[in-house]
Structure 1
Amino acid sequence: MAEPSPRREPAPVRHLARITDITLAVLTLVFFVAVALATGVRGPWQDTIQLGLLLGALLLVRRRWPMTVLLLSVGGIFVYHLTGHWSPSGWIWPAAVAYFTAATTPRVRWVPAIGLAQLVYSAVDARWILDKNPTRYLVHVAGEGLLLAILIAAGLTYAAAMRWRKQLRETDHRAHAAEERLRVSHEVHDVIAHTLAVVGVQLNVAADALEEDPPAAAAALRLAKDVRNRAMTDLRTLITTLRDDSSDTAPQADLASLDTLIADARTAGLEVTLDEHGDRAAVPAITAIAIYRVVQESLANTLKHAGASKAEVTIGYQPRSITVEITDNGRGVPGGAEVTEGHGLAGMRERVSALGGALTAGPVPDGGFAVRADIPVAGSTA
């Protein structure tokens, strides 16, 4: 009966399994011979030790061929008893480990059938006890049946627990992959939104100045091309991340790219001031990416929707938290209406929340719009 090859486990797991199998093999030999001697066997070297060695040796390959090991173990016990070597040590328990192991396999339905056949023959073989001591006969047969039921139930329980652990690992893996892909989608949105905003402004400048000021139109087109090229680099990085299923979903953009981001917004016609307090270099990488993306998305929204001429970016780097605030002098939200969150604001909020921070966005009393993010520094204590 062929057995499927098991999936290769890590080396520490394989070593532990090998030690376990050797221990079970030794215990099977020792206990079988000890019980046989205790129950009246006088010549253990004739066949008792040989059967114990067979049962123990088979356990060394029980994981690779569990059903084969069970059949050979039961066959060895049959041969032992049929050749006149009676031992009250029983029929089922010498093959207990083999029954348990076979019960953990997909072919578990064959295990009760094999055990039942062994029990029936055991009951028939021990019928002479029925005439002398019916109670002993009943205990013998019932005890063997109860042991078989316990072994099969234990094997089924163990197999179910292993399947549950495997499903749990797969579920965790799928959840992690989904989370990474969601994070990448935020990155893609941020890159595309910023690029379209800046490129759109520069194309409008080029179109307006094409006839009256060709050098200005050419400069606007060059800037649009540069922004587009940087965005393509970021997108290629993200696509590579998706193909490789890597946990590193962040493109190269971080606080080192913040000055370029501000320069792009200024070139697009937005008067941007950057005010930083503290040490930029001490910011962890994942937090730096979040700060960059919050500033990028906020300035992109300002360029696209606010009709603003000025924007202020203020970043405070404290040991335990970082505060990012972007305000503009645009139209804000007309009529005091509630802010409608699109993908941009929702993505910023999710990004900041994932780091344990909070983000607020809304109109300011004097006109304009403000975005504020408070992000704790990883590893700090409140």
Structure 2
Amino acid sequence: MAVPFPQRAPAPVRRSARLLDLALALITVVGVVTGVMAAEVHESPWRGLIPLALFLGGLLLFRRHLPMTVLLLSIAAIFLYRLNSHFQGGWIWPASAAYFSAACTPRVRWVALVGVAQLGYAAADFWWVLQRNVGRFVLHIAGEGLLLAMLIGAGLVCAAVMRWRGQLRESDSRARAAEERLQVAREVHDIVAHTLAVVGVQLNVAADALEEDPAEAAAALCVAKDVRNRAMADLASLIGVLRDRTDGAAPQPDLAAVGTLVTDARAAGLRVTLDERGDPSAVPAAPAVAVYRIVQEALTNTLKHSGAAKARVTIDCGPRSVVVEVTDDGRGCGEIVERHGLAGMRERVGALGGALTVEPVPGAFSVRAEIPVAGSPV
């Protein structure tokens, strides 16, 4: 089934469409005048030919919004011109652009019916030639019919291409929406998992020290409160971006915020060493966010699952790639199961063309990612 012209398109597309309509109008004006005069019609062009050509060309400026109306008015104008002139040329070709435009719409069957009816009238109007020259009659009517079939066929092809482009845009839109949902899910998981891990440790410390050392319990609760407040601010920022923006971009923490993660982990009782090499400011935003989230998820897993006493975070910012590695002295997670956190890390790194390695190393457990920067391959 054919599809109508889109009612709304981006501004560059609309400008191109207007230029195309204007070009078709000019071609129609020139083509009609030239074609009729080439048929040796010995009449003043201003008597009817030029007004006809201008009318047919002007109608094409409305072909996208009123294609069937443009076609019917074009046929009516051609009919009136032929009644008042000696022109015996074709009926179809002066309205070629109008036929094509109407054939691009869902009313293509009506276009074919109108064309066949016009061919029937053309055959009746040209019947006197049949008695004198059968070949000329057959050639004339067959040529008109072939042109009509070509115009309708071209309209159907154009409609199919437009429909395919619409489906492709819809598929792209769905893919972008799915990617945005996945990105939001990763962000929410990282924020909530890290917050619950740190807050949980601090609450345990406060519960254990509440009677014996109220000051230590109060300090633990203050740390839990600070972490909770930062998480709420991050979630509020993320939700605000989803409400107010349509490009999926959100202000995200970068390498400068890694120190906050280390501070939170230390407050939870994990002895963390941070080793930064190179120039963090030279790392683009996307790899920087990925590094932050990898450190966040790795430290969260260390606090929740490994039973480690100390960890080391190493970030090496090179000219071609940034390498982040988080190691701890815990027992690891036994058999590595890719849950949401690890799958999210792998998706982040893979989307940037990098590589992620999660494996036990002698006496420790390591999460290592290498992410290219500035389009450089890993």
TM-score tier by shorter-chain length is over 0.9
**Equivalent residues of 1:183, 1:249 under 8 A apart:** no
Within 2, Cα distance between the matches of 1:19 and 1:350?
Answer: 44
Instruction: Say whether 1:363 aligns with 2:364.
Output: no
The residue number in structure 2 matching 1:92 is: 92
The residue number in structure 2 matching 1:61 is: 62
SS in 2 for 1:242: helix
- 1:83-114 per-residue CA deviation (whole Å, 9 max, x = no partner) reads 4x232321000000100011112222210111
Shift in alpha-carbon separation, 1:350–1:89, aligned structure 2, 3 A: same
Most deviating of 11-20 and 69-78:
11-20
Within 2, Cα distance between the matches of 1:23 and 1:276?
Answer: 62
**Equivalent residues of 1:190, 1:296 under 8 A apart:** yes
Residue 374 of structure 1 aligns with an amino acid whose one-letter code is E
Task: Using the TM superposition, give the Cα deviation of residue 271 of structure 1 relative to its aligned residue in structure 2, in angstroms.
Answer: 0.5
Instruction: Say whether 1:80 aligns with 2:77.
Output: no
Task: Using the TM superposition, give the Cα deviation of residue 347 of structure 1 relative to its aligned residue in structure 2, in angstroms.
Answer: 0.8
SS in 2 for 1:132: coil
Shift in alpha-carbon separation, 1:72–1:176, aligned structure 2, 3 A: same
Within 2, Cα distance between the matches of 1:159 and 1:117?
Answer: 23
**Equivalent residues of 2:323, 2:370 under 8 A apart:** yes
Q: How does 1:261-272 map to 2 (within 5 A)?
A: 261-272=261-272
Please point out which of 366, 370, 375 is paired with 2:371. Answer: 375
Task: Using the TM superposition, give the Cα deviation of residue 5 of structure 1 relative to its aligned residue in structure 2, in angstroms.
Answer: 9.7
Please point out which of 326, 331, 353 is paired with 2:350. Answer: 353
Within 2, Cα distance between the matches of 1:185 and 1:164?
Answer: 31
Within 2, Cα distance between the matches of 1:320 and 1:213?
Answer: 51
Shift in alpha-carbon separation, 1:103–1:183, aligned structure 2, 3 A: same
- 1:322-379 per-residue CA deviation (whole Å, 9 max, x = no partner) reads 1111111111255xxx32221111111111111111111121222x311111111133
Within 2, Cα distance between the matches of 1:315 and 1:50?
Answer: 77
Task: Using the TM superposition, give the Cα deviation of residue 251 of structure 1 relative to its aligned residue in structure 2, in angstroms.
Answer: 4.6
5+ residue gaps, structure 1, are: none
Shift in alpha-carbon separation, 1:348–1:26, aligned structure 2, 3 A: closer
Identity of aligned residues (%): 64
- 1:25-73 per-residue CA deviation (whole Å, 9 max, x = no partner) reads 2332222222222223111332222322221221222222211110011
Residue 63 of structure 2 aligns with an amino acid whose one-letter code is R
The residue number in structure 2 matching 1:243 is: 243
Within 1, Cα distance between the matches of 2:135 and 2:5?
Answer: 46
Task: Using the TM superposition, give the Cα deviation of residue 122 of structure 1 relative to its aligned residue in structure 2, in angstroms.
Answer: 0.4
Shift in alpha-carbon separation, 1:377–1:99, aligned structure 2, 3 A: same
Within 1, Cα distance between the matches of 2:338 and 2:36?
Answer: 79
Within 2, Cα distance between the matches of 1:198 and 1:329?
Answer: 18
**Equivalent residues of 2:305, 2:333 under 8 A apart:** no
The residue number in structure 2 matching 1:175 is: 175
Shift in alpha-carbon separation, 1:15–1:362, aligned structure 2, 3 A: closer
5+ residue gaps, structure 2, are: none
Task: Using the TM superposition, give the Cα deviation of residue 258 of structure 1 relative to its aligned residue in structure 2, in angstroms.
Answer: 1.1
- 1:232-262 per-residue CA deviation (whole Å, 9 max, x = no partner) reads 1111122223334533444542212111110
TM-score norm. by structure 1 comes to 0.93
**Equivalent residues of 1:103, 1:155 under 8 A apart:** yes
**Equivalent residues of 2:5, 2:105 under 8 A apart:** no
Within 2, Cα distance between the matches of 1:319 and 1:236?
Answer: 34
Task: Using the TM superposition, give the Cα deviation of residue 272 of structure 1 relative to its aligned residue in structure 2, in angstroms.
Answer: 0.5
Within 1, Cα distance between the matches of 2:48 and 2:317?
Answer: 81
Residue 340 of structure 1 aligns with an amino acid whose one-letter code is V
Shift in alpha-carbon separation, 1:15–1:253, aligned structure 2, 3 A: closer
SS in 2 for 1:156: helix
Within 1, Cα distance between the matches of 2:339 and 2:19?
Answer: 59
Residue 158 of structure 1 aligns with an amino acid whose one-letter code is C
Shift in alpha-carbon separation, 1:249–1:63, aligned structure 2, 3 A: closer
TM-score norm. by structure 2 comes to 0.94
Within 1, Cα distance between the matches of 2:170 and 2:207?
Answer: 54
Within 2, Cα distance between the matches of 1:134 and 1:183?
Answer: 73
**Equivalent residues of 1:332, 1:363 under 8 A apart:** yes
SS in 1 for 2:323: strand
The residue number in structure 2 matching 1:197 is: 197
Residue 354 of structure 1 aligns with an amino acid whose one-letter code is A
The residue number in structure 1 matching 2:24 is: 24
SS in 2 for 1:45: helix
Within 1, Cα distance between the matches of 2:251 and 2:16?
Answer: 42
Task: Using the TM superposition, give the Cα deviation of residue 178 of structure 1 relative to its aligned residue in structure 2, in angstroms.
Answer: 1.3
**Equivalent residues of 2:242, 2:248 under 8 A apart:** no
Task: Using the TM superposition, give the Cα deviation of residue 76 of structure 1 relative to its aligned residue in structure 2, in angstroms.
Answer: 1.2
The residue number in structure 1 matching 2:49 is: 48
Q: How does 1:69-148 map to 2 (within 5 A)?
A: 69-83=70-84, 85-148=85-148
- 1:184-209 per-residue CA deviation (whole Å, 9 max, x = no partner) reads 21111111111000000000000001
Within 2, Cα distance between the matches of 1:73 and 1:132?
Answer: 30
Residue 370 of structure 1 aligns with an amino acid whose one-letter code is S
**Equivalent residues of 1:63, 1:101 under 8 A apart:** yes
